[in-house]
Every structure is written in structure tokens, then in C-alpha cells.
Amino acid sequence: MGIFDKLHGGLGKTRVGFGTKVLDLLTGRYVDEDLFEELEEALILADIGVSTSCELVDTLRGRARKEKIKESEALRAALIEEITALLEETGDGETGLSLAEGKLNIVLLMGVNGAGKTTTIGKIAMREKAAGKKVILAAADTFRAAAADQLAVWAKRASCDIIRQNEGGDPGAVVFDACRAAIARKADLLLVDTAGRLQNKSNLMSELEKISKIIDREAPEAVRQALLVLDSTTGQNAVSQAKIFGESAKLDGLVLTKLDGTAKGGVVIGIGRETGLPVRLIGVGEGIEDLQDFNAYEFAKALFTE
Amino acid sequence: MASLSDRLQDIFTKLKGKARLSEADVNEALREVRVALLEADVNYKVAKDFVASIKSRAIGSEVLESLTPGQQVVKIVNEEMMALMGGEQAKLVVSSKPPTVILMAGLQGSGKTTSAGKIALYLKSQGKRPLLAACDIYRPAAIRQLEILGEKNNIPVFSLGDQENPLKIATEAVAHARKHGNDYLIVDTAGRLQIDEDMMREIEAVAEAVNPTETLLVVDAMAGQDAVNAAKVFDERLPITGIVLTKLDGDTRGGAALSVKAVTGKPIKFTGTGEKVEALEPFYPDRMASRILGMGDMLSLIERAQSSLDQEKVIAMEQRLRQSKFTFEDYMEQLQQIKKMGDTNELLSMVPGMGKQLKNIQVDDKQFARAEAIIQSMTKVERTNPAVINGSRKLRIARGSGQSVQEVNRLLKQFEQMQKMIKQINAMTQGKKKGKIPFGLPF
């Protein structure tokens, strides 16, 4: 099964909601003002946000006039192009984790409570372990009850090491130990799980800064990246999450989870425009193989085509 | 990104500034209201209907001919918002035949386990004897999470490990509760997608077997447009009786709170407002509406104070304040009491008119911690008589608390001002009828 089929399969249910609606809108109709208005509503319902949705529709209006687009099918193709372009504009064109070979890579995952950080780490660990990498997990969520236990289950599944301390311990200390261990054991990849935190809790956000500083100090040679994990059911609040998490830790990209539901994750388009943060990985199901590298064109296409 | 509350207040400030309102003014304002609602993730259809209903009332003569037309519009918005959220407070229903079973349901990561623990503690604090049942056999360590919550708060947890099916665990939990005299049973379940047929069937079976008095749908306050779709399906499959709205302490305000009742017809019963297990509040539509409209929420603030402050200490403190005998010991006591009440920024946002003023001021809870550290580094003599604190004492205190001498000076100065203020208040209230200093807190 190719990557496209898999993404398409995973997003199959997504299309039942938003995709089908847009599909119905954009099938066998003539392009007129009513169509544009309905399209705007459909885009807002996909969490794309009012301003981005309006601009997308305006762009399409302009193109329809200029290119004399009369049929809805042609408009659909134009919509896919526009969304792909918006998504591709962001970031450096890289996708996936793009780990450096022969060096220690440190990936810090952060996000609000319940976004799916621990599960994402588990999946990355299994994937990279299977690719022959030496992986270590750091349980820096010392706050939530049993968070480290949850990560330990994943460590066992992926048969990799886990660095943890008691609940209520200092996450900085966990990261310190983990950096030391990763260097000593010559690991390829250290995955750091952090506690979920709402972005307006300034004390918790400064804890992230501290973790980041410890990594700087203890593993200056390591190749680092920080990823924000976003639940695709999240609405416009995700924009604020991306901005404020970005202030505390230099973010390199997003992981969009739970895309196997009916939610659309449309907010990533707006986030890309406002913060320049690209989507790196998407979660489209419960299985390990359901964590995939993000591809803008396939993402847009899988949303809008049959 | 400005919050819904800020956006609405800006719009209404503009309206209130006008002596007369034309239909065009109202239309323009309502168009902005609609965008603000959508940006706050209020469901598309709900936002549309909401604006339409305000419009039909606002362009009537009662508003346009009023002397304070802007005020009238705000009044209408406030009333419509309350109605949208259910009007009255919805309480937990008690079963006539104990145990009262509360079934938790929701998507992954919405906060079911945490909310289950919070509700159990809430019931316990009211003198009930809740039992928690761990039916999430799928997520790694979910059972352990519930057990830890139980251990910490001294609430029993019923579990059969993750090898038994949830139906069996729930059924046996009911029997266990009956046998052990638990009057409430809270059944935690795994998160599931509403389109996952197998998982939906599983929870339907659990609901049928345990016949819950309350089936609470847990909804993340940050959810986007899809929230209502999920809520609708859960409502069709399960006898949902109410909503628990979680993570309301984030910087999103109200979007889901405004939509979810309108879509499911089920009231919000509780809101989760923080990381601590105590951070669960019954939901009051009127208070929520006035918070969204920036009119503050003094009632919640007072209740919060009453439930978390130690009344005896408060009375003792008040007497000391009256006699202008305010020492660092008292100051520390106050800091601790305030900390117990919750997040400072959240408390301040409950004061009418403060929400907007504080937009750019973040009160750092750590400042309290610093002040405490400094006070703890003082000797008993220094605490009761700060006048003795000279240069070398300051240096010692600074070292002991890990703060700079400047920090110590700042605190001493602050304290001095506070003492002055207390004396002034006492002078002012002397002779008059007993003026009461609210809660014994001078600030």
C-alpha cells in the first residue's frame, strides 16, 4: 500500500465530514456567487479560520474570473492548488523528522493536555527503532499521574531505554539524566516527553525554557528539534498555542494527531501562514504505521478528491 | 489573538459611545460579533442563529429609541448568551436507589480520567462516598492514572486490570459499590472516536448494563467546529445527561461553552478550570455570560474565597488588621491563603472590569513564591519587627532565600506601604459603623 493510499485511507473518514460537503459543493455545479458563499462556510467549518477562509475564497473568485472557470470541478482543482501552495510556502520544504545520521538527535515534544504527545513519542520510537536506530525515551512529564508509566509501556513495546524519575520530580533533572545517558550510550535519538500545559500558564512555559537550556548545556553537539503536538479537533486556539509555545521554545514544526476522526485539522493552514511552522508528521490511526510524514499535496488532495 | 471577551468588549465599547444607533450601526456591530464568535470556535450555525436572534431584538424600537442604546444591545446579548448556555444551573441528579452511577464518555484526550477524579473529590468534599471504576483498558497506564488519583485523594478505585472487558468491570463495580456502601459510582471509560463503531457499541453496552443516572460527555473547551459533530453522535448513541467542559483555564473563552448546549440540548454541568484536582466548578450560565462580556464574576470569586479560606484564621487576621498589628507572619499567612484560592490571573479576571485592564499584565505566581522565600529567611524577631532589618541582615536574608538584596528591599518597601494602608483604612473606618474589611485581605 502506497503512502498516498494509506493517507487517503486514514483520511477516508475525514472526508465523510468536510470532504464530502466540499465535494458535493464542487460537483456538477456552475460557479456562481452562491457557490463561493457556501464554500466559505465549508472552509470555516473545517477550522481553517475566518480570515484564511475568506482570503482563499477571494483568491478563487479572482482566479475564476481571470481563468474563466465555469465548472465546479475546475474550481476544486484550483482549491487544491491554493491549499497545497499555502502549506508548501511554510517551512523549509523538509518533512518528517529528517534525523541527522551518525549524531545524537534530540526531539522535544510539547503541547497542551491531551494532545497526544506520549502516544506520538511511542509511535516515533517504534518506527525509528525498526529502522535500526538506538532510541532513548525521557519521561519529563513528572506531573500527570502515571504519565511515566504510560511512556514505560511504549518503551517496552519498542524495546528501548527509558529515563524516568518519581512522580512530582523535577523534569529538568530527568532531561539532564537523559542527555547524559543518551551521550554515554551513543544513542541516535532521544525523545523527550513533556507534561501537557496550557499555553497561558507562564510558570509552566518557563519550565520548557529551562528544559531547553539544559539540553543546550548538556548536549551541545546534538541535533535538536522541538515539535508542537496538535490535536486535529482543536479549533482556532491552536494558533495561539503555536505562537506562545514558539515563544518559549524554538519550534521546528507541528505534529497533527487524531486525523482519523471527523475533524479536519484545517487550522494548520492558518498556523502556517501566521507562524511559518510546517506540519512534519500526522497521526491517522491507532497503529504504529499510522504515524506518517506530512505531504502537503497529498493532504490537500486526500481532503478534496474521491 | 484577542480573546472572545476582549473582542466583544471592543465592539460594544464602540456601540456604547454612540448616542443614537442606526440599523446600519447594529448590523455592522453584529457582523463583527459573528466573526468574533467564529474566531472563538463557536459553531458556524450556532453563531449564525445567535446573531440573527440578537438582530431581531436589537433593531426593534426598544433599542433604537432608547437613551442608552449601546447598553440595551449589551443587555440583549447577555440575555441571549445565558439562554444559549441553558439559562439555569444544572445540578447532578441523584438516583433514588444508590449508587448513583455517573458514566464518563468522550474523545481521546478530552480529559475524562482527570474529570472523573475531580468529580469524585467534589462529591467527597460534600460528604459523599464515591467509588471510581477504571474501565479504560486500552490506553497504557490509564488504570494506573486513576488509581494514583484515587490514592492521593483517599477515594477507592475499582479495577480488574486491563485484561477484562469494560462491561464486566463496570457491572462488578456496581455490585462492589452496593456492597461497600458507596453512594456514587463514577465509571471512567476509554477515549473513543464517535465514528469507531466497535468502541461506540462497547460503551453503549456498558451504559445499558449499569443504567447510569448521569452520562457526562467530556468536551475539550479548545475544540473546533467538529466538536458539535462528535457531541451529536455521542448524544444519539448514549443517554447523555450533561457536559463536562474541560481546560477552560486556557486562553480560549467560551466557544465550545456557547455551542455545545445549543447543539445537543444538554446542559454543561461542570467545568474543569485547572491542573489541580480541586479545579472543578459547577457551571453557571449567567456567570459565564458575564465573564465573557467582561462584567466579571464576583459571585464565583466570593464562593471560591469562602470555600478555600480558613474562616477562623480570617477572623483572627481581621482583628489583627483592626489593631494595625500587621506583621510578616500575617503577610505570609495571606500569601498562602491566596495561593489556595487558585491561579492569580484567573482570580483577577473575575473582578468586574479587571479582565480587560489586565490584558497585558501577567501576574506571575512565582512572585509569591519569592516573597515567601524571603520571609522564610527572616528570623522571628525580624518578622514581627521589620524595623530591625539593617544592611547586614538584609544581606543574610538575600543569601538565605536565593534572592538579590534589591528583591528584599522591594518586599520590605511593599510591606511598609501595606502597613500604612492598613492604618489609613483603620483611621477611616474608626467611629463609623463597623466597616468590614473583606476577608481580611488588604489587597
Residue carrying C-alpha cell 479536519: A264
pLDDT, one tens digit per residue, over A151-188 is: 999 999 999 999 999 888 999 999 999 999 999 999 99
Q: Choose among B140, B145, B249: nearest Cβ to A154.
A: B140
Interatomic CA distance for residues B126 and B111, integer angstroms: 23
Assess whether pLDDT exceeds 60 at residue A305: no
Query: CB distance A116–B345 less than 8 Å?
Result: no
Chain A neighbours among B 277-316 (CB < 8 Å)? none
* Cell numbers found for residue A249: 521554545
Closest CA to A39 of A30, A54, A49, A28: A54
* Mean per-residue pLDDT pooled into runs of 10, chain B (443 residues): 76 84 88 91 92 88 76 87 89 93 96 96 96 95 95 96 95 97 97 92 96 96 88 94 91 76 91 90 88 72 70 75 80 78 70 56 70 90 89 92 90 85 72 47 43
> Measured between alpha carbons, how far apart are the two ends of chain B, in Å?
30
The C-alpha angle B222, B227, B231, rounded to 5 degrees, equals 130
All structural domains of chain B, each given as residue ranges with its CATH number in brackets, are 2-84 (1.20.120.140), 100-295 (3.40.50.300), 302-429 (1.10.260.30)
**Chain B (130-189) residues lying within 8 Å, Cβ to Cβ, of chain A:** 139-142, 144-149, 152
- Residue A202: pLDDT band (50, 70, 90) is confident
Confidence of residue A269 (pLDDT cuts 50, 70, 90): very high
d(CA B187, CA B418): 50
Q: Cα dihedral sign for B195, B201, B206, B208?
A: positive
Cβ within 8 Å, pair B141-A146: yes
In chain A, residues with a C-beta closer than 8 Å to the C-beta of B148 are 145-146, 167
pLDDT of B365 reads 67
Predicted complex ipTM: 0.86
A273 touches chain B (CB under 8 A): no
Instruction: Give the torsion sign (CA, B12, B16, B21, B24).
Output: negative
Report whether B224 contacts B40 (CB < 8 A): no
Backbone angles phi, psi at A38, to 5 degrees: -65, -35
Nearest residue in chain B measured CA to CA from A205: B364
* Structure confidence at residue A115 (pLDDT): 94
Between A16-30, A33-47, A165-179, B173-187, the lowest mean confidence (pLDDT) is in A16-30
Residues of A in contact with B40 (CB under 8 A): 236
CA atoms of B52 and B30, how far apart (whole Å):
9
B104 has a chain A CB within 8 A of its CB: no
Q: Are B264 and B287 in contact (CB under 8 A)?
A: no
pLDDT for res B372: 87
The enclosing H or E element of B150 equals helix B142-153
Chain A residue with CA closest to B365: the answer is A203
The predicted pLDDT at position A306 comes to 41
The reply to whether omega before B69 is within 30° of 0 (cis) is no
Question: Could you tell me the strand order of the sheet in which B157-158 lies?
Answer: B157-158, B130-134, B184-188, B100-106, B214-220, B242-246, B268-272, B280-282
Q: Provide the pLDDT for residue B20.
A: 81
DSSP SS3 for B89: coil
Give the angle A199-A202-A204 at the CA atoms, nearest 5°.
Answer: 80
Residues of A in contact with B251 (CB under 8 A): 198-200, 237, 240
| Among the listed residues B314, B330, B313, the one whose alpha carbon sits nearest the alpha carbon of residue B418 | B330
Q: What are phi and psi of B275, to 5 degrees?
A: -75, -30
Of residues B40, B193, B247, nearest to A261 (C-beta): B193
Report in angstroms the alpha-carbon separations of B15 from A34, A62, B5, B382: 31, 35, 15, 55
Which of the four pLDDT bands, split at 50, 70 and 90, describes residue A15? very low
Which member of A147, A152, A237 has the closest CB to residue B222? A237
Assess contact for A227 and A109: CB atoms under 8 A. yes
Chain A residues close to B366, C-beta within 8 Å: 203
Check if A43 contacts B (Cβ < 8 Å): no
Cα B395 from Cα B379, distance rounded (Å): 13
Higher-confidence residue of A12 and B4: namely B4
Residues of A within 8 A of B152 (CB-CB) are 145
pTM score of the predicted model: 0.81
Q: In what order do the strands lie in the sheet with A253-257?
A: A161-163, A135-140, A189-194, A105-110, A223-231, A253-257, A279-283, A291-293
Question: Is there a contact between B268 and B261 (Cβ–Cβ < 8 Å)?
Answer: yes
**Contact yes or no for A226/A263 (Cβ under 8 A):** no
Of residues A152, A198, A235, nearest to B41 (C-beta) = A235
Select the residue from A40, A52, A113 to test the B interface by mutation, using most B Cβ atoms within 10 A.
A113
Asked if A234 and B111 come within 8 Å (Cβ–Cβ), the reply is no
Cα dihedral: B325, B329, B335, B341 (round 10): -90
Grid coordinates standing for B182?
458507596
**What are the DSSP calls for B98-118, one per residue?**
SSEEEEEEESTTS-HHHHHHH
Q: Which candidate in B41, B144, B155, B226 is best for mutational testing of the A interface (most A CBs within 10 A)?
A: B226
Nearest to B272 by CA among B249, B294, B305: B249
**Chain A from 163 to 202: CB within 8 A of any B CB:** 167, 198-202
Whether the pLDDT of residue A16 is over 60: the answer is no
CA distances from residue A60 to A292, B69, B318 in whole angstroms, order as listed: 30, 40, 67
Query: Which one has a higher pLDDT value, A27 or B172?
Result: B172
How far, in Å, CA of B147 to CA of B135, rounded?
12
Element (H, E) at A283: strand A279-283
Cβ–Cβ contact B32 with A under 8 A:
no
| DSSP letters for A218-275 | H-TTSEEEEEEEEETTB-THHHHHHHHHHHHS---EEEEE-TTSS---THHHHHHHHH
CB atoms B251 and A243 under 8 Å: no
DSSP symbols for B325-394: ---HHHHHHHHHHHHHH--HHHHHHTSTTHHHHGGG-PPPHHHHHHHHHHHHTS-HHHHH-GGG--HHHH
Q: Does the beta carbon of A120 lie under 8 angstroms from any beta carbon of chain B?
A: no
Cα A138 to the center of its chain, rounded Å: 20
pLDDT at B355: 55
CB-neighbour burial class of residue A260 (10 A; exposed 0-12, middle 13-18, buried 19+)? buried
User: Are A237 and B107 a contacting pair at CB < 8 A?
Assistant: no
CA A25 to chain centroid, in Å, comes to: 28
Provide the pLDDT for residue A213: 94
pLDDT computed for residue A170 by the predictor: 93
CA of A74 vs chain B CAs: smallest distance (Å): 27
Mean local confidence (pLDDT), A280-302: 86
Please enumerate in sequence order all residues whose Cβ is within 8 A of that of B201, keeping only pairs 6 or more positions apart, or say none: none
Q: Locate the chain A residue with the closest alpha carbon to B367.
A: A203
* DSSP 8-state symbol, A102: T
Q: Touching check for A275 and chain B: CB below 8 Å?
A: no
